Amino acid sequence: MNTNRRKLYRVRTMQGFERQALAEDQRLRRYRVSYACWHLFSDQTRIDLAARNAESLKAINAIARIEFTRALMMELQGIRAKLEPVHFVTLISDKHAGSLSKVSSFDLKSYRKWVREALEGFDFIGLADLAYYYRSPFLSDGYKPHGSWHCHLIVWGVPEGTIQAKKCAMDKSEKAFVPGATPFHYDTRSGAQVDEMLFYLAKGPVAEYSAFPILSDQADLITGELIKVPTSRWRNQKRKIGPAALIRAINCIGDVTFKDMCIANGHGRHLKRRALKKTRAKLAVLRRLHQQDLARALSDF
């Protein structure tokens, strides 16, 4: 597999990841008080988004996202020498896509089991993610928003030939949400790029998608001239997610936690447990520090 097929993510440092996560959180804060968007937030969503509720580890909470990513980065750095070869794997099946009402009641426990069975025997860790499609022209009701649950995984210690065989098997047994796309995509990378992989899979909803048909050259039956005609295969087209789409996406994710979203197998399960434990401890410390600062500020009046 060509390792230069695509850039994983333009964020390459923890500082950059934190800066972007907080910027997206500020967008949501502005939307929560705007006339156009405030009514799209449920009361529970407002609570889950608040920084003071980060200890809930809700996947839509920016502070929880930052600290969980930081903890997972430290865990992966601790075993970096053992990660070669490392593969960045994306799994997408049309079985896990549908209307917003369907994807908002998604069973992540069953999904984690499906992923572990698909990659049985592999060491990996990653996160489930929801892709928001504002338009799906390959569907009969594609004018309505749809969502596609998928996952990005860091897989290590597996020869590329084994990964390629797994890809061939899954491409035959599954269909991607977008016709013509591959259900199993992977890039083989160096252990030095593991942080970049992590920042990509932990980024959350930052884009919204549509699709366009792939064109092919065909000869005109009368003139013989080559003309472009659409095929049955489609390609994703993405843009920065808009305000209403972002709110709909986080409403679909709902009260899901990072424990629910994180998918791990083999040694990855140990990384998940330790990362969750460290995240909870760090968020508890941050809460106590915030309470101390607040008490100190009030005592100055």
Under the banding of pLDDT at 50, 70 and 90, the label for residue 2 is: very low
Q: Considering only 129-143, 150-164, 168-182, 219-233, which range has the smallest mean pLDDT?
A: 219-233
With bands split at pLDDT 50, 70 and 90, how would you rate the model's confidence at 8?
A: very low
State pLDDT tens for residues 19-75.
999 999 999 989 888 887 888 898 899 999 999 999 999 999 999 999 999 999 999
Summarised one tens digit per residue, pLDDT across range 218-265 is 877 788 788 888 898 999 999 999 999 999 999 999 999 999 999 999
Query: What per-residue confidence (pLDDT) applies to 300?
Result: 67
Range 180-184 average pLDDT? 95
Measured at the alpha carbon of residue 251, what is the angle toward residues 29 and 234, in degrees to the nearest 5? 110
Residue 6 confidence (pLDDT) above 60? no
Can you give the pLDDT at residue 4? 41
Q: Is 90 exceeded by the pLDDT of residue 115?
A: yes
Peptide linkage before 85 cis (omega within 30 of 0):
yes
| Other Cβ atoms closer than 10 A to 34 | 12
pLDDT higher than 50, residue 5: no
Sequence spans of domains, the chain: 14-299
CB atoms within 10 A of CB 276: 18
Please report the pLDDT score of residue 80 as a whole number.
Answer: 86
Pairing of strands 207-219, 86-99: unpaired
Closest CA to 178 of 133, 215, 216, 145: 133
pLDDT of residue 9: 56
Q: What is the pLDDT of residue 246?
A: 94
User: Does pLDDT of 296 surpass 50?
Assistant: yes
Strand ranges in the chain using DSSP code E only, listed in sequence order: 86-99, 123-133, 146-156, 184-189, 207-219, 226-240, 262-265
- Give the pLDDT confidence of 257-293 residue by residue, as tens digits: 999 999 999 999 999 999 999 999 999 999 888 777 7
Residue ranges in 189-266 assigned as alpha helix (H)? 194-201, 243-253, 258-261
Backbone angles phi, psi at 90, to 5 degrees: -120, 130
Write out pLDDT tens, residues 70-107: 999 999 999 988 888 899 999 999 999 999 999 999 99
Strands 207-219 and 123-133: parallel
Q: Using one digit for the tens of pLDDT, what is the confidence trace for 190-222?
A: 888 999 999 999 999 999 999 999 988 887 778
Whether 112 shows a pLDDT value over 60: the answer reads: yes
The runs of H, that is alpha helices, within 5-148 are 14-32, 43-49, 62-78, 100-103, 108-118
